[in-house]
Amino acid sequence: MNKNKSTEALLVASDEKRDKKIYQAGFIPGWIGEGGLKPEPIHEFNACSWSWHKGKKLLHSAAKSIDSRVAERRNIRMANTANQKRTTLNTIHTSYQMVAPGEFARAHRHTVNAGRLILESSGAFTTLNGEKVYMEPNDIILTPNWVWHGLGNDNEELGAFWVDFLDDPLVSSLKTIFFEVRDEDYEAMEENHDSPYHIKWRDLDKELENLDSGVDESHGHRIKLDTTSIPSMDLFMERFDDKMKTRAIKSTANHIFVCVEGSGSTQVEDTSFPWERGDVVAVPSWKSFSHHSSVKSTLLEITDQPLMELLGWYRSSV
């Protein structure tokens, strides 16, 4: 009788004495317990979301006692709800960050690739390799590996806020983080109105409005941003028509979505995560997700898909 070898369960008879000797010698028997090979990926991070309404209040409160000269940066980490996680997902992390009125935070650089989506700014800037770049709401500022970047706010009344996104969980797991700091003369610094690391919202908004009306059922009106300077992440800006619903997608890439404008929800497996401006939704790899807009809306998508493709690990259900 022929047996289907692909469905046969392989069992090893227990032998406590034998296995104890293996443990005592500093090994682990590879035939018992969970191994690393599975039919499909298993993720230790949860799908979850964070509210900008709550985050802004917390940052305002923190500004009363947290001095950026001491804390380096005033931010609150979007830690995954899975047990004892300090990062958003296993390769990408996000935080809400604030620069208070009239405040300056010293420049630093690191091997971590990062960027920020500006939520509120009226006179705030990032310094990039010694040049001052002013930030408008919905602009994106990239701070690639080893680029010096500091923060400042010329406005004496209003704070500036944004969502930081960075690949520090990946760099940390590879043990390749380097970090340096320096002081800069912000007042004497020249302005750069055309930095390659500055993606301006006014240009993105115009491009989205001029896109062909035809859309893929899995996406809204979607454009890929020029982020070759941060090769570990791809960024997309995606606009949805009123009450638009996308087809579910599942892939081996991690995804983070930030609501730029409008409102709606993201369905991840059996859970719905509502969003409005500034809210963040994290979708771990190999979790099915789809979007549903309540009104005309725009999402920023941050994904580690280029890493998965580079290593030949990208798989998708579509």
Q: What digits encode the pLDDT tens for the residues 167-181? A: 999 999 999 999 999
Contact 292/61 with Cβ under 8 angstroms? no
What residues make up the domain containing 301?
203-310
Judgement on whether residues 52 and 69 belong to the same structural domain of the protein: yes
Report how far residue 32's alpha carbon sits from residue 41's, in angstroms, rounded to the nearest whole number: 20
> Which of 199, 226, 244 is at the close of a domain?
199
Is 22 within a domain?
A: no
Region 11-17: mean pLDDT is 84
The reply to whether 9 falls in a domain is: no
Our count of domains for the chain comes to: 2
**pLDDT score recorded for residue 74:** 85
180 φ, ψ (degrees, to nearest 5):
-140, 155
Q: Are residues 191 and 299 in the same domain?
A: no
More confident residue, 137 or 37: 137
Residue 119, SS3? Answer: strand
> Does residue 195 sit in the same domain as residue 207?
no
pLDDT > 90 in the chain, percent: 81
CATH of the domain at 216: 2.60.120.10
**CB atoms near residue 72 (< 10 Å):** 12
If asked whether residues 111 and 193 sit together in one domain, one would say yes
Spatial contact of 275 and 261, defined as CB atoms under 8 Å apart: no
What average pLDDT is seen over the chain? Answer: 92
The answer to whether residues 179 and 207 belong to one domain is no
Q: What is d(CA 59, CA 317) in angstroms, rounded to the nearest whole number?
A: 39
Residue 32 lies in a domain: no
Nearest Cα residue to 295 out of 223, 244, 220, 221: 244
pTM of structure: 0.92
Determine the average pLDDT of the residues in 105-133. Answer: 97
In a domain? residue 40: no
Backbone angles phi, psi at 77, to 5 degrees: -80, 140
- What confidence tens digit (pLDDT) does each residue in 278-308 have? 999 999 999 999 999 999 999 999 999 999 9
